[in-house]
Every structure is written in structure tokens, then in C-alpha cells.
Structure 1
Amino acid sequence: MHVHNLSSWQHSHHFQSGLEASAERRTKIVVALTIVMMVAEIAAGTIFNSMALLADGWHMSTHAGALGIAAFAYTFARSHADDQRFTFGTGKVGTLGGFTSAIILCMVALLMVWESANRLMTVQAIAFDEALMVAVIGLVVNVVSAGILGGHGLGDDHDHCGHHHDHDHHRDHHDHNLQAAYIHVLADVLTSVLAIAALLLGKYLGWWWMDPMMGLVGAAVIGKWAWGLMRKTGSVLLDHSDDRELPEEVRAAIEGDADNRLSDLHLWQIGPGHWGAIVSLVTHTPREPGHYKTLLAEVHELSHVTVEVHPCDGASCG
């Protein structure tokens, strides 16, 4: 029996950004902080009868769950990175975690609208001083958490795999899992600020209705963030892309050689900053697939390329 040396011609399907280990550690730290503050705010909001404080604590509880999902997504992607059942690796697990978090954010916004609307119907007696103290502590914890999660993986200006190119500045190199966790924490910061503002207005001006009103404002902002995150992650999961330049770069690289013509092209994102491509071409001078992969080497986003070469028998293949 002849046995091939698989390592000489097989390749890895590890399509991550390279920053996942750090993001996983930071996310787990923030999960712990969020759980501690969540318990404190729900207890204080119940005792002091503050809707702003309760809203902050309640949606922090769902954020704790969402952040837990984010941490689990990193662990799952890492532990299954070499699982052959995942055809193109686990690069999209983080995006799925981000999409799940976006759904949770929407549910949080709806819950805040419901409870705030109910509280607007009845005058509320609020223990302002005690609620303010807890809200300020919550804000500090949320700002610290945002600082822990901020940085690499949230934008697309980092140096992906050692390459930085002006032509791909618009492409999605986000770690959607980390971005979702960051948005959850930003939502916590927002609701903490709104809670403090509402409690101050209630204490000094007697505007008790500002407490539930701030719940409605926070719900609107959180809902908007959630919708944007859902659209972005949903597009990746459905292999949808509005990128107009990447197909043109692939076409230029292939058709700039000999009389090659693209007959079919499929491009889709398989991880943060990583794209897969199936390239089908016709030519009068067919070469080995490796030749065409070399032509595409300058398109650095392409991490998994399959090439089909069809000889052209007619006078023109254009």
C-alpha cells in the first residue's frame, strides 16, 4: 500500500484573525465583572424602586449571557479548529456568536420598552440617593469593561497577517464576536449614564417620569446598535457581500495573463479578513491550477482558492 505524506500537500483551515486568544481572555474577565454588577443592580433597583437601575441590571443579565456566548464561541472555535466536519474551518463561529448576541440585544430593547411604558402610567417612589450610588458604581465597572474589550479586532485597520494594503481598507476584518461583546458593554455604559441622569433629574427637579423615559431612550439606541450588528453578521453567515472591488481584483489578476477569461467566480468570507474563492476560467493556453493561484497571490484576502481551468477550442473565449 502506498501512503502519501499528507502534510506535503494538504493545508490548514484555520481562518481566524490571530487575535482570538487575547479576545477570549478579555471577554471572560468582562463576563465576571458583568455578573457581579448585574446582581448588585437588580437587587438595588428592586429595593430602591428605580426602573432606570432595574433596566440597567436586567439588560446586564442578558449581556452576561451574551458575553458568555462570546466566550464559548472562542473556546468552541479553538477546540474544533481541526475538526474535518467543518468544511471551511471554524472561522465563522465568532460571527454566529455575534449574530446571537444581536438577537439578545433586540430582546433587551423590547423588554426595556415594555417595562418603561408600564412605569410611565403610575407615579413611582424612588430612593434616589441609594440608587445613584449603585448606578455610579455600575458606570465605573462598565467603563472598565469597555476598556478591557477595546482595541484589536474591533476595527479593520489592524495589520492582517502581516499585510496592510490601501485597496482593502473597506473590507471586513472585524472579529464580530468581540465586536458584539463590545457593543453589549457600550449598551451597559449608555444605560448607566441614562440612569444617573434620570435619577439626578428626579431627585432635584421632581421629574420622576424621567426614570422610565430614559429606559425608552436607551431601548431605542440599543435597538439601533443591535439591528446594525444583525445585518452585518447575517450577511457574512449568508455569504452575502456588497464588496465590488474584490471581484474586480480577481478578474484583473486572471485576465491580465495570456487570453484567460473568467467564466464563473464565487467569493465568500470564511473568517475575519479571510475569503474563499472558486475561480473558473477558459483559455487557449491552459496551465496547471497552481499557475493561476500564483496570479492571485497579490489578492491577500484570498485564503482558500479553488481553480477550474477549461480549454477554449473556439476562435474567441471572450
Structure 2
Amino acid sequence: MSLSTSSHRHTHDLSPWQHSHQFDLGNREGEARTRWVLALTLVTMVAEIGAGWWTGSMALLADGWHMGTHALALGVAVAAYALARRHASDARFSFGTWKIEVLGSFASALVLGIVAVGIVVESGLRLWRAEPIDVRTALIVAVVGLAVNLASAWLLQGGTAHAHDHGHHDHAHHDHAHAHHEDLNLRAAYVHVLADALTSVLAIGALLGALWMGWWWLDPLVGVAGAIVIGVWSVGLLRESAAVLLDREMDHPLAQEIRDDIESDGDAKVADLHVWRVGRTQFAAIACVVADAPQPPSVYRARLARHEELVHLSLEVNRCPGERPG
């Protein structure tokens, strides 16, 4: 009976130390714009495939199915947004669901790379074995595709989410990389649209060369050049999203700032530090501090208070062991 009474007497209120793990609230505007672009892409894809089948134009059919690959990537982006929002309050996700969006970006980048390889293969076959081109029909397709892509790019650019200014905090002593403040999922959709716009512009130039100068080889050659550019974009996006998914953040300026701020008294030393991203501009950290005269954890937390981006911090404070006698 006394044990039970003691247990109730020592029940503590843990609420001051507990908080939500939904660190990133998502990008609702970017999600809405991506949905509009997906709808526009699907309508154009169906129209081109239908018109190609009706008229017998291979150019229309090819471009329609090409847009289908981009519709797939945009669908992945939309699904990632929806899943991240749906499971935002699920306690099984220790640090929130934002990385679902990053995973969507990685998947979209893979699709973009596959598209680039496909263009290289098809262009190489056409360079090896020339095929007749219905230039006027292909020009119409390219111009329509370019118009759709420019409209889509305009829609997506307006939804880009950047980090807010930290206001009274002075971060002028370092330059956080621009990509660290971006919605990678939205950027993946944007890159797909830009890639399609690039292929349309290059195709128009090549087709005009074929129409006016008879340079039929220009179309596949320009296709290879465009595919190389798209491949570079794909690799860049893969590297950025993979770095986030694999928690490669220890080269971020914030990691060194945490170390410098904790060690600012000349006594404390950071023996172990882990920093990782839990949102577009939000970070979590675990630090092991060793000192000859250790302070309460609240003292070291206060030294890091200027970092609004540090939304979850776990500190372990230890006294430095004395030297062992020789």
C-alpha cells in the first residue's frame, strides 16, 4: 500500500518536456499547384495520344506517351505530399513524415534519368538508321507541348517554399545553401516540366532545320544533347535527395555552429555530435558534452537558443574523468 502511495506522490507532469514530432507542416500551395500541373499534363497526354491514333501521326503518339512518363513522376510527387500529410500525426514516425516528400523527389529523379536514357537510345537508333519525319505535324506537337510546359513551369514556380528569415537571429556569418531551403518534392516536379520544355525547344529548332535546310540528322543529334542535360539535372536531384535520406548533414554549417556555441566557455567539449534534417529548414541533434566543471543541460541549451532551425535537441552532459596515474 505504501509503495502505491509513493508511486502516486512522485508522479511528474512531463508535458513541458514533450512536444509534437510534426516538425515540417508541408507545402500546401506547392501541393495544390502540382495537382493542377498533373491534371494539365494528363489532359494534354490523352489529347495527343487520341489525336495521334486518329491521324496516324507517330510524332503525336510518341510525345503523348513521353508526357505520360512525366505524368507518372508528377503523380509520385502528389502522392508523396498526400502520404506525408495523412501520416503527419502518426507516432510511429519518430521524426515526422517530411522525408516521404524527399523519397518522392528521389523516385521522380530516377524516372527522369530513365527518360534521358530512353531519349539517347531512340536518338542513337535514328542517327544510325534515318527515318522519315512528318515535320509539320511534329512542329505542331512541339509548340503545343512547349506551351503546356511553360504554363506548368509558371504554376510550379509560384509554389516554391523557401525558408523564412530568422529575424532577430544573426546568421550573416555563414551562407546556408539554397537547396537546403527548397521543397525537393516540388523541385523534382519542376525539373520534369523544365526537362520537357527543353526537349520541346530543342525539337522545334531541329525540326525547323530539317524543314528549311533538309538537315534530317539534326533532330536525333539535338535529342542526344537534350538527354545529356536532362541526365545532369537528374543526377543533381538524386544526389541532393539521397543526401537528405541518408542524413548526410555533418558538413552543414549548423553542425559546426552547435559545436562552437556549446564550447564557447572554454571548458565544455563536444565529444559526439549527430545532426540531421527533419524538415526543409528544421534540424534535430544529439550532443554528448564533456567538461571539467559541467553545467546543467539548460545552460548548454540556452547557448543554442538562437538556432530556430534546431527544433529537437538531446543533450548528454558528463564530467571529464581525471587523468589516471602513470
Gaps of 5+ in 1: none
Tell me, in whole angstroms, the C-alpha distance in 2 between the residues paired with 1:242 and 1:57: 44
Distance of 1:170 and 1:38 partners within structure 2: 39
| Mapped partners of 1:114, 1:170: distance in 2 | 39
Structure 1 pair 313–114 and aligned structure 2 pair: CA distance change class (3 A): closer
Residue 287 (structure 1) aligns with: 295
Task: Give 2:164's match in structure 1, choosing from 155, 159, 169.
Answer: 159
- When the two structures are aligned, how many residues end up with a matched partner? 311
2:3 corresponding residue in structure 1:
none
Query: Aligned pair 1:211/2:211, yes or no?
Result: no
| Long gaps (5+) in structure 2 | 1-6
Deviation string 1:184-230 (CA, Å, 9 cap, x unpaired) is 01001101111211221111111222222222122111111000110
1:131 to 127, 133, 138: 138
1:253 partnered with 2:253:
no
Q: Which residue of 2 aligns with 1:75?
A: 82
Contact 1:279 1:308 (8 Å CA) reproduced? yes
Match for 1:178 among 175, 183, 186? 186
Partner of 2:4: none
Q: How does 1:192-211 map to 2 (within 5 A)?
A: 192-211=200-219
Q: Equivalent residues in 2 for 1:239-278 (5 A)?
A: 239-241=247-249, 243=251, 245-257=253-265, 259-278=267-286
For the structure 1 residues 6 and 41, does the alpha-carbon distance in structure 2 shift closer, same or farther, using more than 3 Å as the test? Answer: farther
1:169 equivalenced with 2:175 (yes/no):
yes
When residues 285 and 251 of structure 1 are mapped into structure 2, their CA distance, relative to the original with a 3 A threshold, is same
Provide closer, same or farther for how the CA distance between residues 227 and 151 of structure 1 changes in structure 2, counting only shifts above 3 A.
same
Larger CA deviation: 108-117 vs 179-188: 108-117
CA distance in 2, matches of 1:34, 1:240: 34
- 8 Å Cα contact 1:280/1:307 also seen in 2: yes
Q: 1:100-111, aligned counterparts within 5 Å?
A: 100-111=107-118
Q: 2:31 matched to 1:24? A: yes
Deviation (angstroms), 1:66 = 0.7
Deviations 1:55-83 (A, max 9, x none): 64443211111111101111111111111
Match of 2:57 in 1: 48
Whether the 8 Å CA contact 2:130–2:217 is kept in 1: the answer is yes
Over 3 Å counting, the alpha-carbon distance change for 1:55 and 1:183 in structure 2 is farther
Q: Which residue of 2 aligns with 1:226?
A: 234
Q: For residue 66 of structure 1, what is the aligned residue in structure 2?
A: 73
8 Å CA contact 2:41–2:67 kept in 1: the answer is yes
Indicate how the Cα distance of structure 1 residues 186 and 234 shifts in structure 2: closer, same or farther if over 3 A, else same: same
Which position in structure 2 is the counterpart of 1:87? 94
Report the Cα distance in structure 2 between the residues aligned to 1:68 and 1:126, rounded to whole angstroms. 31
Q: How far apart, CA to CA, are the structure 1 residues paired with 2:201 and 2:165? A: 35
Offset at residue 274 of structure 1 (A):
1.2
CA distance in 2 between counterparts of 1:219 and 1:10 reads 50
What's the secondary structure of 1:282's corresponding residue?
strand
Q: What is the TM-score when the length of structure 2 is the normalising length? A: 0.86
1:270 Cα deviation from its structure 2 partner: 1.8
Task: Give the 3-state SS of the residue equivalent to 2:305 in structure 1.
Answer: helix
Between Structure 1 and Structure 2, whose CA radius of gyration is higher?
Answer: 2
Contact 1:41–1:135 (CA<8 Å) still a contact in 2? no
TM-score, normalisation: structure 1: 0.88
SS at match of 1:256: helix
Contact 1:98 1:180 in 2 (8 A): yes
Q: Structure 1 residues 300, 228: CA separation in 2 closer, same or farther (over 3 Å shift)?
A: same
- Aligned partners of 2:190, 2:120: CA distance in 1, in Å? 22
Q: In percent, how many aligned pairs have the same letter? A: 50
Change (3 A) 1:135 1:159: same
Cα distance in 2 for partners of 1:289, 1:271 equals 25
Give the RMSD, CA atoms, in angstroms.
2.5
Contact in 2 for aligned 1:56/1:192 (Cα 8 Å): no
Matches within 5 A, 1:277-316: 277-314=285-322
Q: 1:153 to 1:270 in 2, by over 3 A?
A: same
Partner Cα separation in structure 2 for residue 112 and residue 121 of structure 1: 14
